[in-house]
Amino acid sequence: MIVELGHFALILALMVAAVQAVLPLWGAQTRNGALMGLAAPAAVAQFLLVAAAFGVLTWAFVVSDFSLAVVTANSHTLKPMLYKISGVWGNHEGSLLLWVLILALFGASAAWFGQNLPAALKARVIAVQGMIGAAFLAFLIFTSNPFWRLQVPPLDGQDLNPLLQDPGLAFHPPFLYLGYVGLSMAFSFAVAALIEGRVDAAWARWVRPWTLAAWIFLTIGIALGSWWAYYELGWGGFWFWDPVENASFMPWLLAAALLHSAIVVEKRESLKSWTILLAIMAFGFSLIGTFIVRSGVITSVHSFASDPERGVFILAILAFFTGGALVLYAARAGAMEAKGLFAMVSRESALVANNILLAVAAFVVFIGTIWPLVAEITSGRSISVGEPFFNAAFTPFFVALAVILPPGAMLAWKRGDLPRALRSLAPVAVLAVALGGLAFALQTGRSALGPVGAMLGAWVVFGALRDLWARTGRSGDRLGRLLRLPRADWGKATAHCGLGVVVFAVAAMNAWAVEDIRVAQLGETFPLGRYEVTLKEVREEPGPNYTSTTAEMVVTRGGAQVAVLHPEKRVYPVQAMPTTEAAIDYGFLRDLYLVIGDPQQGGGWAVRGYVKPFANWLWGGALLMALGGLLSLTDRRYRVAAGARRVPAGVPAE
């Protein structure tokens, strides 16, 4: 019965979304206040209905209601409670319901936090949000209904894929979806602005916080996914250029570009039509990502059950929204005249360069991702595009971005002075080269990757700090002024520092990781980098829904004990699948990463050991970027609602 209520709520949500999509839009067109006024309550009602459906599905997982097909296929009575709950979105149907829930949440947030938006703009934004909601609710109900019953419920379920039985599943997808779906707000604002034919500083000030919030969530979601892969897959890789990773990375790149171009619209009323185009493309790539994950046209480790019917449906959604918005754009973009002129050397130009590089980088990822599909369709050749291509084709653009970042960020608006910016960065350049030289001197190999990464990272980090310091004026109480700088300035510096740290950490992990694969006898001690590892003991231990082979390994350095680690190998009998659970000793400068493998015929165990230098800097850098976004989001100009003298409204989606 409860399940039917959830099913009913979901269908009702579709009806409400259809109303939300049509009537307010009509009202805005005919200046009908009553119809426009429908937008906000409809958005809230849609959210509450989807939330009810989501609650019911969660309940079905918690009580293991195996009369539901989804629960049977993805759960098991013995599964720990955390994974029963996170298992709700560990499958196609449930994760799509989460997607729709978050979409409805953003629509409702526009209703809650949009009090000071002009009525027509608000009605149009919420209506566009309602259209997207209606499309995805229809997709959910007609092709991927999570409330489908089984005629004969089995006694127990088939369990969740063991790789997904990890706390990572609890956090990675929700953050990622908050990011993906959050970009729908930028899209809705862009379409609403195109319908109205008006883009101004106030519009940018409304749209930027949403984009910023979406970008923060995407950053955290991607970093969490990367960290999850790092500790779960058993060899410490953190990025694989897998199609689904790319599907989240492309919107991230475009959202980053959008963030920067929206600043130009907000401060200088320039780049308007480009910003609108970026907003459309950023969400368009979110939809492409959804298509890639759920259609099965491109093979990936992340794929849910592939189903051509679903693929066609998503393709239709993608074509309707992206295509429709682009047609609208072609018709209306001409009306967006720029007000602020700027010189060739100026902050605006630097941000244009930033946007071009980010967009081209996203395009390279895109073409690499779909190329196998294109080749198969056009020539029937079955080919693969993987890491070697992406490393070679993507990296140059990102390096260029890092090189131009510090001087670009220091240029003045309208007309900048490049020689002056470079002069003030001269000490930073010296420092960066010195650190690169130091890295070269300290490393053993002759690889240029590590030193170049150190140099580039230092250039970005210290360039950002130099910029912050330059903002405190020339004399007097510079330290006091530093602390009183707007949060947006601190946010900019923090996010750019984070990027520099990530650049360095990626290079360091690729250049300086130490790997050791061997057979170790019980009690044997072997060297791992500057450490010694002893395999003390291997024992069998039962888990809640698996059996574990747990090793005890002692790591010492020069006789002093560093850590005792317990890597595991688990076998999940229901799915008959082994997983490796690496044991990691996290450190500031390095991670020690140990994995236990299979027993060998001649005695002993296969073991793998890694020293991963600066691994934590990677996640730390990503966190810094997100923190920078948060600082910028809480800047005074967003807290005090744009252009309004009414009660200051909160900033959405903090």
Partner 1 sequence: MSGRAKAWALALALSAVPVFAVQPDEMLADPALEARAREISRSVRCPVCQGESIDDSNARISRDLRIIIRERLVAGDTDQQVLDFLVARYGEFVLFDPPKSGANLILWLAGPAVLLLGGGIAFAAFRRRGKVPEEGLTAEEQARLEEILKR
Residues that bind partner 1 (CB under 8 A): 233-235, 237, 240, 242-243, 296, 299-303, 306-308, 338, 341-344, 349, 352, 356-357, 359-361, 363-364, 367-368, 371, 375, 378-379, 381-389, 393-394, 397, 414-415, 517-519, 569, 571, 576-578, 580, 597-598, 600, 606
Closest approach, Cβ 369 to partner 1, in A, equals 11
Beta-ladder partners of 441: none
Nearest to partner 1 of 518, 536 (CB atom): 518
Amino acid identity for residue 33 in this structure: G
End-to-end CA, the chain: 36
**Burial tier of 152 (Cβ tally within 10 Å: 0-12, 13-18, 19+):** exposed
Beta-ladder partners of 593: 584, 610
Nearest to partner 1 of 93, 348 (CB atom): 348
Amino acid identity for residue 375 in this structure: A
Closest approach, Cβ 508 to partner 1, in A, equals 19
CA 223 – CA 510 distance, rounded (Å): 17
Closest approach, Cβ 566 to partner 1, in A, equals 18
Closest approach, Cβ 468 to partner 1, in A, equals 24
Closest approach, Cβ 527 to partner 1, in A, equals 14
Nearest to partner 1 of 296, 620 (CB atom): 296
- Expressed in percent and rounded to 5, the helix, strand and coil fractions of the chain are 65, 10, 25
Nearest to partner 1 of 178, 611 (CB atom): 611
Closest approach, Cβ 565 to partner 1, in A, equals 18
**Burial tier of 560 (Cβ tally within 10 Å: 0-12, 13-18, 19+):** exposed
* 3-class secondary-structure state, position 323: helix
Give residue for tokens 């150190």. Answer: 454
Closest approach, Cβ 560 to partner 1, in A, equals 28
Largest distance between two CA atoms of the chain: 83
Residue 204, token pair as written in the block = 């940018």
CA 195 – CA 21 distance, rounded (Å): 14
SS (H, E, C) 184-220: HHHHHHHHHHHHHCCCCHHHHHHHHHHHHHHHHHHHH
Closest approach, Cβ 609 to partner 1, in A, equals 12
**Burial tier of 141 (Cβ tally within 10 Å: 0-12, 13-18, 19+):** middle
Closest approach, Cβ 368 to partner 1, in A, equals 7
Closest approach, Cβ 409 to partner 1, in A, equals 19
Nearest to partner 1 of 300, 634 (CB atom): 300
Which strands sit side by side in the sheet containing 605-613, from one edge to the other? 514-520, 605-613, 590-599, 583-585
Residue 233, token pair as written in the block = 């897959």
The alpha-helical segments, DSSP class H, found in 474-536 are: 478-484, 487-512
Nearest to partner 1 of 371, 440 (CB atom): 371
Pick the closest to residue 359 from 284, 415, 263, 267 (CA basis): 284
Phi, psi of 265, rounded to the nearest 5 degrees = -65, -45
Nearest to partner 1 of 162, 628 (CB atom): 162
Nearest to partner 1 of 381, 646 (CB atom): 381
Nearest to partner 1 of 106, 238 (CB atom): 238
DSSP state of 400: H
CB 567 within 8 A of CB 557: no
Neighbours of 148 (CB within 10 A): 13
Pick the closest to residue 206 from 627, 643, 626 (CA basis): 643
Nearest to partner 1 of 352, 555 (CB atom): 352
Which residues in 501-516 are b (16+ Cβ under 10 Å) and which e?
A: bbbbbbbbbbbbbbeb
Closest approach, Cβ 304 to partner 1, in A, equals 11
Nearest to partner 1 of 262, 364 (CB atom): 364
Nearest to partner 1 of 321, 394 (CB atom): 394
Nearest to partner 1 of 2, 343 (CB atom): 343
* 3-class secondary-structure state, position 346: coil
Closest approach, Cβ 393 to partner 1, in A, equals 5
Closest approach, Cβ 355 to partner 1, in A, equals 9
Closest approach, Cβ 606 to partner 1, in A, equals 5
Nearest to partner 1 of 155, 576 (CB atom): 576
DSSP state of 597: E
Nearest to partner 1 of 407, 491 (CB atom): 407
Pick the closest to residue 622 from 349, 226, 33, 345 (CA basis): 226
CA 126 – CA 57 distance, rounded (Å): 26
**Burial tier of 426 (Cβ tally within 10 Å: 0-12, 13-18, 19+):** exposed
Specify the DSSP element, H or E, that contains 634: none
Closest approach, Cβ 310 to partner 1, in A, equals 11
Residue 315, token pair as written in the block = 């393709």
CA 122 – CA 119 distance, rounded (Å): 5
